[in-house]
Amino acid sequence: MDRPTPEEYQPPLRLWSHVWRVLLMLVMSAVVWLPVAEHQGHVYGWWCFLDVLLGAAAYVVVFFRRRHPLAIASALAVVGAVSGVAAGPATLAAVSLATRRRWREIALVGSLNFASAQLFSTLTNPADDPTWLMVAANAIATGAMLGWGMYIGSRRELIWTLRNRAERAEEEQELRVAQARSNEKARIAREMHDVLAHRISQISMHAGALAYREDLSAEETRASASVIRDRAHEALTDLRDVLGVLRDDSGERRSAPQPTYADLACLVAEAREAGMRIELEDLVADGPGSTMPDAAGRTVYRIVQEGMTNARKHAPGALLTVRITGSPADGVDVLLRNPLGFGPTHTPGSGLGLIGLTERAELRGGRLEAGRDGSTFVLHGWIPWGS
């Protein structure tokens, strides 16, 4: 993370902040000026008046130290060479500038404050203290002043950084929660589409047959209605199973297991019983260690199921060929083909099924492609064996 600018971590000044700073400046001005005020009057009669006048101006100017820190601190340091009253504002301005922790500014202001303090001490030295003592005292005072300002600045930056990190952590946590919710909603939506679209397409196919067939006997009509009823019941059961995901911490169905590759034969047999024409060519490798993992098998199952749903919607009565090949070394290849425009259909299609399946395949590290090949619709997917 980049280092913040001083303007970012400087705290706002409220009424009490101004009050205690003014009181502290008055104390410092009194400590510096009162012991030498009488001496100033003896040396030059007007010096005392000038000292107070410049000091009063310094008390006004110091309130603008955050707008122009270097200029204000430098000017007040120079004024402090002839005004003891200005010692308080000059100290506050120097400490405020030191909180910025910029070495060039600190070096300049520190040098000006030390030189001004040394000059003021030399001009107003009624006790004739040794020069080395005044130099040492001014150096210690200047160093302590700047060191205190740097410590305050470092502490302010640390507090700002910690607060900023905490806020960012909260924002990132909220973002992760929202993303997890979005992913879960998308996963449930894909699951509902994969399951219900297959059942609803079966219901639509049988209902369409009843609508077009006028030569059916009463017994045949009852049989078709019974099939529609059974498929509707299965759709409701599947819907209940999928909605169980919302209450299951593991994300899996609770009332029914997830389908795997072993359930593919049942899916094809069920579709054939419903009147769909399907040719299944299963060339998946057999033998020890060649059992398809459940994760890959579930994705293959969903791809075949979606291909059957699309064929039932858009090409009812057409022959759907399904070819599955795979091995642990080569992965699983799924190819579905059916003619286009084969018979009328009134079942709407949203196109979301293929989008969801593509996302599902990509999440497993595979790919899924769908499109026309002349007058044939082709659905081609590849899934890694160990996905």
Domains of the chain, start order: 6-172 (no CATH), 260-387 (3.30.565.10)
Q: Please name the amino acid found at residue 228.
A: I
Whole-number Å distance between alpha carbons of 259 and 257: 6
Q: Give me the percent of the chain exceeding a pLDDT of 90.
A: 11
Whole-number Å distance between alpha carbons of 307 and 267: 12
Q: Residue 111: beta bridge partners?
A: none
**CB-CB contact of 201 with 347 (8 Å):** yes
116-133 CB burial, b ≥16 within 10 A, e <16: bbbebbeebeeeeeeeee
Q: Please name the amino acid found at residue 379.
A: L
Structure tokens at 340: 């286009």
109: which residues sit within 8 A by CB, 6+ positions away? 70, 73, 74, 77, 94, 97, 98, 146
pLDDT band at 380 (very low <50, low <70, confident <90, very high): very high
Q: Which of 15-24, 216-225, 245-254, 275-284 is predicted least confidently?
A: 245-254
Half-sphere exposure of 83 toward its Cβ, with a 13 Å CA cutoff? 24
Q: What is the pLDDT of residues 119-136, one digit of tens each?
A: 888 887 756 667 788 888
Instruction: Using alpha carbons, list the distances in angstroms from residue 242 to 39, 184, 238, 256.
Output: 94, 12, 6, 9
Whole-number Å distance between alpha carbons of 167 and 319: 59
Torsion on CA atoms 246, 249, 250, 251, rounded to nearest 10: 20
Q: Decide which of 162 and 34 is more confident.
A: 162
| pLDDT score for 321 | 93
- Can you give the three-state secondary structure of 28-67, one letter per residue? HHHHHHHHHHHHHHHHCCCHHHHHHHHHHHHHHHHHHCCC
Q: What is the pLDDT of residues 158-202, one digit of tens each?
A: 888 888 888 888 888 888 877 877 776 676 666 666 666 666 776
pLDDT beyond 80 at 300: yes
| pLDDT score for 52 | 86
Per-chain mean pLDDT for the chain = 80
Q: Residue 284: beta bridge partners?
A: 326
